Structure 1
């Protein structure tokens, strides 16, 4: 049977995510994780399904991609198919053809662990992009207390979480329109098909101000969990709150049965690199996305 490129329906999301969960294991690459789909689902289930690409053979899902915008696809490949020559070549054809999967004017592929695909794309005049560092922390032992009050955010407290996350990643004034839109998206995510395996956490200082937030995503008991995103309010940086919320996130994943906690950051983000290291996360070798070069 030939390999088919497909876009799932909303009803097909659940079996696709089940497959993605099975592909997560300790010692494996930090490729596309169910939590990445969960974070994307703030756009709604229909938009999330429309952003997914599946490669199938005889009904079996061999690989999944998430279009994180029109010019970036983030991939995961079933472990037993990662070195398959036919799949790698079909990948290369589909990803290299402008407009088939990625925007004709720009294309970046996150293909961690897919070494044969990487080789084929480099042969097709693709280039290595900015390096990223993957961090892992085993969770067999208890995680030390972070020293702050940690709250698991429910729907009635969504505004607290999104306000800190906005400050951490946007930095611009948080208008009423921004608040309504981002709270609405958080509620869509929390009410969607992925959030049963997630928690959103907020850390509070001695004045009971929310100072840092994180989201954690499980792939099921005994499998690696994902920490994404993590951020500290711009008015509260420099006090170790990033380390504290990261420790709280690791503890939450342990409570959820995860075997380890993982996160990936741009290697140039020295602050984030230092934060994860201080929270007991161990870096792996750098990885780089692939960018379509000029013809």
Structure 2
């Protein structure tokens, strides 16, 4: 089994297998849209953040280093309980010399049914912050959002970027980052949307990522401008996101938010999303 960093030329394969691994009823897991959103840092940075595990010429696991000490990891569905793979993953993520995680505090997000959960727990890793996955079936049409919604193209990238920064206090998102994100292959199956108030001011924004027809699509990220909160724009943009994914052929819309963000959970529920059981990353103190 080989651990590798795919390089820019190998990112298409990583995105492709992540598409194939999305299915209805799957646990919360790494989605091709997560790589698409990371692409805002550029193709080279995205390639440097991705890790793949291959066996007999087949990719069986993909990881994304989505911040200092955070690995978001998933496996092929038929390899969730594969002992050889799970033990190799544990060995690679716990040894800093292998170039996956550094020493010290670390977190790993992995599907809750994966054997790596059991093995890391046995090794002393503990449950981290609780997250709430939410799911919205897209079989039936989505009701109208009740606000003006526009799709964002290159000419409106600055509008999307401004809402993103106003929605997330720590955001460094820029128009240039939007163009970098839009240049990535995952964006071919994505849509950026902005909701406007009655005065024509941009109030909320979302990006949705399809994994292909008949597969769950992802909302990442969704945010409401700090000056437009508690006025229904979160619900409106979430409805528009679900409708856009339905137009792209997605079977459902999924999103995951910290359970402590009660307002976000309530917003998604108001747009027809249903809570699924909480999940927790695995955490290592040192």
Q: CA–CA distance in 2 between the matches of 1:78 and 1:171?
A: 34
Indicate yes or no: 2:237 matched with 1:240: no
Cα drift, residue 242 of structure 1: 0.3
For 1:200, the equivalent position in structure 2 comes to 192
Residues 238-261 of structure 1, C-alpha deviations (whole Å, 9 max, x = no match): 111101100000000000000000
Cα drift, residue 224 of structure 1: 0.2
Q: CA–CA distance in 2 between the matches of 1:200 and 1:206?
A: 20
Contact persistence 1:149–1:204 (CA under 8 A) = yes
Match of 1:35 among 30, 33, 36: 33
Bigger Cα displacement from structure 2, 91-100 vs 223-232: 91-100
Residues 99-134 of structure 1, C-alpha deviations (whole Å, 9 max, x = no match): 531121221100123431101001111111011010
Match of 2:53 among 55, 59, 71: 55
Helix, strand or coil for the counterpart of 2:174?
Answer: helix
Contact persistence 1:152–1:200 (CA under 8 A) = yes
For 1:190, the equivalent position in structure 2 comes to 182
Cα drift, residue 70 of structure 1: 3.2
Indicate yes or no: 2:243 matched with 1:251: yes
Residues 167-218 of structure 1, C-alpha deviations (whole Å, 9 max, x = no match): 110179xxxxx6xx71111111112222101110000111111100000000
Indicate yes or no: 2:265 matched with 1:273: yes
Please report the TM-score for the alignment, with normalisation by the length of structure 1: 0.94
Q: CA–CA distance in 1 between the matches of 2:123 and 2:259?
A: 26
CA gap of 1:158–1:127, structure 2 versus 1, over 3 A, is same
For 2:220, the equivalent position in structure 1 comes to 228
Cα drift, residue 293 of structure 1: 3.2
Q: CA–CA distance in 2 between the matches of 1:171 and 1:4?
A: 36
Contact persistence 2:112–2:279 (CA under 8 A) = no
Q: CA–CA distance in 2 between the matches of 1:132 and 1:246?
A: 18
For 1:132, the equivalent position in structure 2 comes to 131
Regions of 4+ moved over 4 Å: none
Q: CA–CA distance in 2 between the matches of 1:58 and 1:52?
A: 20
Match of 1:72 among 70, 73, 78: 70
Residues 59-98 of structure 1, C-alpha deviations (whole Å, 9 max, x = no match): 1000100001230010111001111011111111111223
What residue ranges of structure 2 are gaps of 5+ in the alignment?
none
Number of equivalences? 285
Please report the TM-score for the alignment, with normalisation by the length of structure 2: 0.97
